[in-house]
Structure 1
Amino acid sequence: MTYVIHGATGAQGAPVVSALAAAGKPVTALTRNEHAVVDGARVVAAGYSSAADLTDAYRGAAGVFVHLPVSSEEDRKIFAGNILTAVRAARPARVVFSTSGFPIDPAIGGPSATLVAGLADSGVSHAVIAPELYLENLLMPYVIDSVRERGVLPYAIRADFPVSWASHLDIADVAVALFERTDVSGVVSVGQYPAITGPDLAAAFATRLGRDVVFEPITPEQLRTALAPLMGAGAAADVAAAYQVMSTMPGRSITPETSAQKLLGVTPRTTSQWLADVGV
């Protein structure tokens, strides 16, 4: 039985493939490119847009790691529906879904919330990984170039806004643990605790780079402008809108009671550890 990993060549799926392969597990990498080469994995071309392809890929799987890509809300709704159709038909032994920081509150709704509710109703063993914000966001050119060139870390949060940051590497660690720990179900929060602020991030960069680095809050509109050339106008506008909503919140901290630290004994990297791991 194999472990099926969505986005196996991307930022979220690739670390999961690597972690499972390092543990000696058989891995099937799902990609849109049938000619892709993924170290430690068998490659299968299957996209979110085909429930039939997903059903074939999930059938007989020991586990499936899935996350919804950054795309239009309408596409994400279709993808969530196709994933649920495939899970119900193929009935893999275990599904681990990473929310990628998107809301899963039924009162708010949205594709991620629909997927979480559908998995709960499917009768298939599953768990939900719930990160807040990804440290990899700080590697976007508008951030890391500014840090290196100006000693300024710009980000679209207030200076006093605490966040339980997590990395894609942390998500992979938790996903592998959840494939093993089938006794753990429901939502598992992933991120640093206590939560840290923008100036805390800047201090970690300063220590790592051996130079002064200060934090600079930017507006969601500035974020949209910075992201549009990288991900397209529509996706950038959606991200900026999410940060506009975030600006009204007190912070984004995980809940200790549902944390990976408590439920799995997996402690996410500090910002300094992450910087060292990714070679900044």
Structure 2
Amino acid sequence: MTYVIHGATGAQGAPVVSALTAAGKSVTAVTRNDHAVVDGARVVAAAYSSPTDLTEAYRGAAGVFVHLPIASEEDRQIFAGNILTAVRAARPARVVFSTSGLPIDPAFGGAAATLAAGLTDSGVSHAVIAPELYLENLLMPYVIDSVRERGVLPYAIRADFPVSWASHLDVADVAVALFEHPDVTGVVSVGQYPAITGPELAEAFGARLGRDVVFEPITPEEMRTSIAPLIGDGPAADVAGAYQAMSTMPGRSITPETSAQKLLGVTPRTVHQWLADLGV
């Protein structure tokens, strides 16, 4: 039996592929390009827009790792419905869904909440990985270039806003552990605890880079204009909207009771460890 990994050539899926192949598991990489090459994996072209493609990819799988791609909310709702159709038809042994930080509370609505609720209703063994914010966001050029050139870490959160940061590498570690522990179900929070503030984040960058780094809060609009050339105007506007909504929150901290640390014994990387793993 194989493990089916969505986004296998992207930032979220590729570390899961690497972790599974390193453990000697059979991996099927789901991509939009059937000519893609993924080391150690069989490649299958399957589109989120095709429940038929997804059903075929999931059939007989030991596990499926899935996340919703950057797209309009309308498209994500369609993709979530198609994933659920395929899960119900193919009935893989296990599904692990990473929210990518999107809300899954039904009160908020949205595609991630639809997918999480649908998995619960499907009767298929599953778990939901719930990170808060990704450390990889800090590798966006407008952030990391500023850190290197000016000693300033700009980000669209308040200086007193604590975040349980997590990396894609941490999510991959948790995904593999969840495949190995089907008894762990429901939501698993992934991220540092205690959460850290912007100045503490900048301090960790400074310690790794051997220079003083200070934190600079920026507005969601400034963030939007910085990332639009990279991800497109529509997705950038959605991201800015999410950060605007976040500005009224006290922070983005995981819940220790549902953490990967407690449920799986998997501890996420510190900022310093993450930067060292990336060779930054």
TM-score between both structures, scaled by the size of structure 1:
1.00
Tell me the equivalent position of 1:225.
Answer: 225
**Could you tell me how far apart the structure 1 residues matched to 2:134 and 2:85 are?**
29
Counterpart residue type for residue 11 of structure 1:
A
**Could you tell me how far apart the structure 2 residues matched to 1:71 and 1:278 are?**
27
Tell me the equivalent position of 1:190.
Answer: 190
Tell me the equivalent position of 2:30.
Answer: 30
Tell me the equivalent position of 1:106.
Answer: 106
1:99-145 deviation line (CA, Å, top 9, x unaligned): 00000000111000000000000000000000000000000000000
SS in 2 for 1:184: coil
Q: Within 5 A, what are the aligned runs for 1:60-139?
A: 60-139=60-139
Counterpart residue type for residue 59 of structure 2:
R
1:245-268 deviation line (CA, Å, top 9, x unaligned): 000000000000000000000000
**Could you tell me how far apart the structure 2 residues matched to 1:106 and 1:275 are?**
35
Q: Within 5 A, what are the aligned runs for 1:179-258?
A: 179-258=179-258
**Could you tell me how far apart the structure 2 residues matched to 1:278 and 1:105 are?**
33
**Could you tell me how far apart the structure 2 residues matched to 1:205 and 1:47 are?**
38
- Establish whether residue 12 from structure 1 lines up as the match of residue 12 from structure 2: yes
Query: Cα offset for 1:210?
Result: 0.8
- Identity over aligned pairs, percent: 87
**Could you tell me how far apart the structure 2 residues matched to 1:4 and 1:140 are?**
28
Query: Cα offset for 1:279?
Result: 1.0
Tell me the equivalent position of 1:151.
Answer: 151
Query: Cα offset for 1:24?
Result: 0.2
Query: Cα offset for 1:218?
Result: 0.2
1:128-167 deviation line (CA, Å, top 9, x unaligned): 0000000000000000000001000000000000000000
RMSD, aligned CA = 0.4
**Could you tell me how far apart the structure 2 residues matched to 1:95 and 1:112 are?**
14
Counterpart residue type for residue 77 of structure 2:
K
Query: Cα offset for 1:47?
Result: 1.3
Query: Cα offset for 1:70?
Result: 1.0
**Could you tell me how far apart the structure 2 residues matched to 1:187 and 1:16 are?**
18
**Could you tell me how far apart the structure 2 residues matched to 1:208 and 1:267 are?**
20
**Could you tell me how far apart the structure 1 residues matched to 2:33 and 2:199 are?**
41
SS in 1 for 2:158: coil
Number of aligned pairs?
A: 280
**Could you tell me how far apart the structure 2 residues matched to 1:125 and 1:209 are?**
43
1:220-254 deviation line (CA, Å, top 9, x unaligned): 00000001111111110000000000000000000
Q: Within 5 A, what are the aligned runs for 1:258-273?
A: 258-273=258-273
1:1-32 deviation line (CA, Å, top 9, x unaligned): 00000000000000000000000000000000
SS in 1 for 2:193: coil
Counterpart residue type for residue 24 of structure 2:
G
Counterpart residue type for residue 247 of structure 1:
S
**Could you tell me how far apart the structure 2 residues matched to 1:250 and 1:145 are?**
28
SS in 1 for 2:56: helix
Instruction: Structure 1: give runs of 5+ residues left out of the alignment.
Output: none
**Could you tell me how far apart the structure 1 residues matched to 2:226 and 2:130 are?**
26
- Establish whether residue 49 from structure 1 lines up as the match of residue 49 from structure 2: yes
